[in-house]
Amino acid sequence: MTFYSCKNDPKVDEKKVEQILGDGKDYQDLIRNPITADENADTVNVALARFEEVMHDFGQLKGAQIVSHTFKFENIGKVPLIIKDATSTCGCTVPDFPKEPIQPGEKSEITVKFNTENKEGYQSKPVTVITNGYPSKYTLTVTAEITKN
């Protein structure tokens, strides 16, 4: 049997630890744990993204090109909205999203670039956006009909 323990090192400089942990910003309210064993999810006091559109059709595209579309949205929730991640199922579709919190009432945007190289026919590319809001997941989609030169 082997035992391990933490060393309580009195030489640890607590000021350094405080300096690392305390960047002066209070993110406590931005993190939510909506469901516990005793309570239901709080669906009122949350961040909420309202997108102007969740689908964009580029129409007919010829040959290899890079096209982009900007999806605009507003945080209509009651707390700051944080976009944790935005990903696509394919490397040909690349989202660019805000890294800073979007305050209630603020507008922002996610730009999606789509590279049509080596693509042909009807293409539908979803982008999954993960937030701290409720709902926490949104799907944005770009589509196109691609023909060779």
Q: How do residues 8-17 score in pLDDT, each as one tens digit?
A: 444 544 444 3
**Can you name the residues that pair with 142 across neighbouring β-strands?**
56, 125
Checking if the pLDDT of 74 tops 90, the result is: yes
Q: How confident is the model at residue 45 (pLDDT cuts 50, 70, 90)?
A: confident
Q: How do residues 129-138 score in pLDDT, each as one tens digit?
A: 999 999 999 9
User: For residue 127, which of 113, 117, 115 has the smallest C-alpha distance?
Assistant: 113
Is CATH 3.40.50.1820 the right assignment for the domain spanning 49-147? no
Give 39 or 1, the one with higher predicted confidence: 39
Q: What residues does each domain of the chain span?
A: 49-147
Where is 20: in which H helix or E strand?
helix 14-21
- Cα separation, 20 vs 23, whole angstroms: 7
Query: ω into residue 10 within 30 of 0, thus cis?
Result: no
pTM of the model: 0.74
